[in-house]
Amino acid sequence: MRPFVLDPLFASLSSLPGIGAKTGELYARLLGRESLEECRIIDLLFHVPSGLIDRSKQPGIALAPQGAIVTVTARVDRHQPPPRGNRSIPYRIFLHDDTGELALVYFRSHGDWLLKTLPIDETVMVSGKVDWFNGRASMVHPDHIARISEGETLPLIEPVYGLTAGLSPKVLRKTIEAAVARVPDLPEWQDPPLVRQQGFAPATEAFRQIHDPRDAHDVDPQAPARRRLAYDEFLAGQLSLALVRARLRKTPGTPVSPTGELSSGVIDTLPFSLTGSQEDAIADILSDMASQDRMLRLLQGDVGSGKTVVALLTMLAAIESGGQAVLMAPTEILARQHFATIGQMAKTTGVSVEILTGRTKGREREDILERIASGEAKIIIGTHALFQDTVNYNNLLLAVVDEQHRFGVHQRLRLTAKGISPHMLVMTATPIPRTLVLAAFGDMDVSKLTEKPAGRKPIQTVIMPAERVGEIIERLRSAVAEGRKIYWICPLVEESEETPLMSVEERHAILAQTFGDQAAVVHGRMSGPEKDAIMMAFKSGETRLLVATTVIEVGVDVPDATIMVIEHAERFGLAQLHQLRGRVGRGSEASSCILLYKGNLSENAQSRLKIMRDTEDGFLIAEEDLRLRGEGELLGTRQSGTPGFAIASLEAHGDLLEIARKDAHYLLERDPELTSPRGEAIRTLLYLFRRDEAIRFLHAG
């Protein structure tokens, strides 16, 4: 049970003033949740400021620099409403101080409200951005107004938060203030000597400080309050991983003794021979599974390195040993794709391959569940639906989790919580730096696929300015005439975005002028079946040019697609570019990748694109990515933190991770059931960061 002290933080976000159905939707979007019901107050507290606005500059009107945010104390002289019926002319209000005159400018505003807020002869403080034009100063829609006579003041330092379209900074700040007020007195779960050594404030205080920055240092990731909560988060993560591992060790696995009758048949029919590292990985896995101890192994392999066939051969080993195997993919598209390729590869074996996803409904679903329970279904491929409570396995010996770039132990936890203890193989598209492996997976055994399958041609990569797009379309026209297939990727455009980015729809409309029905578009807002149909048409060759957002990023396999155009390549992170580019170069034909950029590139952006041009080595790219991002550049529209973490970032707080790992081990060694006073407080910590699933293992024995 969650400790009562956390109740105020886990209250629904809707219990804060001013959050209704409509704003609720905005908050859900902001916090990356499906609906308002899923948003808790704690989620908003984890939405930390990305910077601050300093309104403390009060130079006087005449000395306010162009474009600067200033605060002015001035007297209201007169109102100048727009002529009746002409709403396109703004409402102006003139103020003066000792140094000069300032016009406040309001578009489409109510005069009544303005007269009340800014009465003539009143002295007010206004804050906002100053614009100079023809020697006159103006301020369009000031951010704050305070009336001196009423004793009002305005915040001189203000945190800035990541926003979503439709949510104003003012409203968000107010809500966060209300959320901060709900933070209870939290117990201290950290070791006192460490608290002293690191200069950590108490957690309660840390939440307050993070949301009430006083200067630029306070919004830096290295600010003491942030480090405190980052450490808390790392420790919670390391503890839950350690608890899961301890539990895994306690429940013995079933040794798998493969006969080779199924897998050898598949190997014989493969149109290629396995690479050395594929063979090594399979040997590692089989030897792990042959033992009583449950396997917990990570298979890292760059895009296109051939993880799927490794997964299939190990699943067949489990089946030869009389069991079942599941393969879980992060998305529906990927699950369907695995189902198609694996079904094809396993055909000659006669092993039944099934698919179970959130979209499997009704009669079909019941039938599959029955076959899973009876053991008739051998290989079951799907999404997290595979691990729902209604699914009962007959004899699950192996679970393969294809994580791609999403990390998390949740699915694994859920499986273990169901009381089944299959061997576990987690596959990720490498390369993940070691620190990230540690943070996301803890100490796992690792196999790496380091070789590219034989026969792969290098991908020729070029960098071009978007202005030359006409030329590129011409080239693509002849490529399509030769029967080639092309991906054209555009970044996701958020509604709040002000920069002129090309969206998939716009780009598709332009390309359709040249390619007609041969150009198709796919994006995240489409329904699952719609997306599938479009992918199938591209795969079959009915369409030749696929305009897409990064929804196609993960895993989609169309081996005869040979050209990849990435628009606004400067907006993508290196890892993502690498992942995208890996969609081509999968067949025997030579492939190419065109990185289009717009505008003047920063030096950092130039270096990134050059690395892409110069190498295909995923490990090198990952290292460079970490190095360049270390310089603090924000990639894409989102602040790219460490996946799976709300506050902690490996880049900024990497030093704390190692401490947390040791701390977790030390703690569990002395207090494995978390019953000491610190242990009790640690439980609260685990709930706070939603790592509480691990707590169940304590009593479960």
Binding site for ligand ADP (CB under 6 A): 272, 274-275, 278, 301, 303-309, 453-455, 557, 559, 586
Shortest Å distance, C-beta 619 to ligand ADP? 14
**574 contact choice in Mg ion, ligand ADP, none (CB below 5 to 8 Å, kind-dependent):** none
**Which backbone phi and psi does 76 adopt, to 5 degrees?**
-80, 120
Shortest Å distance, C-beta 40 to ligand ADP? 36
Residue number of the CB closest to ligand ADP reads 306
CB 189 within 8 A of CB 684: yes
Between CA 359 and CA 288 the distance in angstroms is 34
CB 160 within 8 A of CB 49: yes
Shortest Å distance, C-beta 267 to Mg ion? 19
SS3 state of residue 639: coil
**275 contact choice in Mg ion, ligand ADP, none (CB below 5 to 8 Å, kind-dependent):** ligand ADP
Shortest Å distance, C-beta 138 to Mg ion? 56
Give 268: exposed, middle or buried? Use CB within 10 Å, 0-12, 13-18, 19+: exposed
CB 438 within 8 A of CB 661: yes
**132 contact choice in Mg ion, ligand ADP, none (CB below 5 to 8 Å, kind-dependent):** none
Residue pointed to by tokens 């602040």: 639
Shortest Å distance, C-beta 452 to ligand ADP? 9
- Which residues have CB under 8 Å from 448's CB, separation 6+? 277, 281, 299, 300, 301, 430
Phi-psi region for residue 103, left (φ > 0), alpha (ψ -120 to 50) or beta? beta
Shortest Å distance, C-beta 440 to ligand ADP? 19
Q: Which residues of 44-65 are buried (b: 16+ CB within 10 A; e: fewer)?
A: bbbbbbeebeebebeeebeebe
Shortest Å distance, C-beta 449 to Mg ion? 11
Question: Which residue, 346 or 372, is less far from ligand ADP as judged by CB?
Answer: 346
**309 contact choice in ligand ADP, Mg ion, none (CB below 5 to 8 Å, kind-dependent):** ligand ADP
SS3 state of residue 399: strand
Shortest Å distance, C-beta 636 to Mg ion? 23
The two three-digit tokens of residue 595, written as one number: 């990185």
Question: Which residue, 379 or 511, is less far from Mg ion as judged by CB?
Answer: 379
Shortest Å distance, C-beta 271 to ligand ADP? 8
Question: Which residue, 327 or 574, is less far from Mg ion as judged by CB?
Answer: 327
Question: Which residue, 357 or 430, is less far from ligand ADP as judged by CB?
Answer: 430
**301 contact choice in Mg ion, ligand ADP, none (CB below 5 to 8 Å, kind-dependent):** ligand ADP
**654 contact choice in Mg ion, ligand ADP, none (CB below 5 to 8 Å, kind-dependent):** none
Question: Which residue, 190 or 278, is less far from Mg ion as judged by CB?
Answer: 278
Question: Which residue, 125 or 401, is less far from ligand ADP as judged by CB?
Answer: 401
Between CA 563 and CA 109 the distance in angstroms is 52
Question: Which residue, 484 or 583, is less far from ligand ADP as judged by CB?
Answer: 583
Report the chain's terminal Cα–Cα distance, integer Å: 17
Between CA 390 and CA 524 the distance in angstroms is 28
**557 contact choice in ligand ADP, Mg ion, none (CB below 5 to 8 Å, kind-dependent):** ligand ADP
Between CA 559 and CA 485 the distance in angstroms is 10
The two three-digit tokens of residue 217, written as one number: 């240092």
Q: If binding means CB under 5 A, how many residues of this protein chain bind Mg ion?
A: 1
The two three-digit tokens of residue 695, written as one number: 């707590």
CB 163 within 8 A of CB 80: no
Question: Which residue, 132 or 272, is less far from ligand ADP as judged by CB?
Answer: 272
Shortest Å distance, C-beta 454 to ligand ADP? 5
Between CA 57 and CA 42 the distance in angstroms is 34
> If residue 692 lies in a helix (H) or strand (E), which one and from where to where?
none
SS3 state of residue 582: coil
Stretch of 160-168, 354-362, 553-561, 588-596 contacting Mg ion, by CB under 5 A: 553-561
Shortest Å distance, C-beta 279 to ligand ADP? 9
- Which residues have CB under 8 Å from 204's CB, separation 6+? 183, 184, 185, 186
Instruction: By CB under 5 A, name the one of 187, 382, 555, 654 that touches Mg ion.
Output: 555
**349 contact choice in ligand ADP, Mg ion, none (CB below 5 to 8 Å, kind-dependent):** none
Count the alpha carbons within 13 Å of 243 in the hemisphere toward its beta carbon: 31
Nearest of 266, 304, 271, 302 to residue 556 by alpha carbon: 304
Shortest Å distance, C-beta 274 to ligand ADP? 5
Greatest alpha-carbon pair distance for the chain in Å reads 93
Between CA 169 and CA 252 the distance in angstroms is 53
Shortest Å distance, C-beta 426 to Mg ion? 13
Q: Does 301 bind Mg ion (CB under 5 A)?
A: no
Amino acid at 689: F
Asked, as a colleague might, if the bond just before 49 is cis with ω within 30 of 0, I would say no
**How do beta strands 459-465 and 423-429 pair?**
unpaired
Question: Which residue, 219 or 303, is less far from ligand ADP as judged by CB?
Answer: 303
Between CA 590 and CA 595 the distance in angstroms is 17
Residue number of the CB closest to Mg ion reads 555
SS3 state of residue 520: strand
Question: Which residue, 455 or 701, is less far from ligand ADP as judged by CB?
Answer: 455
Question: Which residue, 228 or 307, is less far from ligand ADP as judged by CB?
Answer: 307
Question: Which residue, 305 or 592, is less far from ligand ADP as judged by CB?
Answer: 305
Shortest Å distance, C-beta 276 to ligand ADP? 9
Phi-psi region for residue 322, left (φ > 0), alpha (ψ -120 to 50) or beta? left
Question: Which residue, 423 or 586, is less far from Mg ion as judged by CB?
Answer: 586
Question: Which residue, 127 or 562, is less far from ligand ADP as judged by CB?
Answer: 562
Stretch of 98-106, 282-290, 406-414, 549-557 contacting Mg ion, by CB under 5 A: 549-557
**Which residues sit at the interface with Mg ion, rule CB under 5 A?**
555
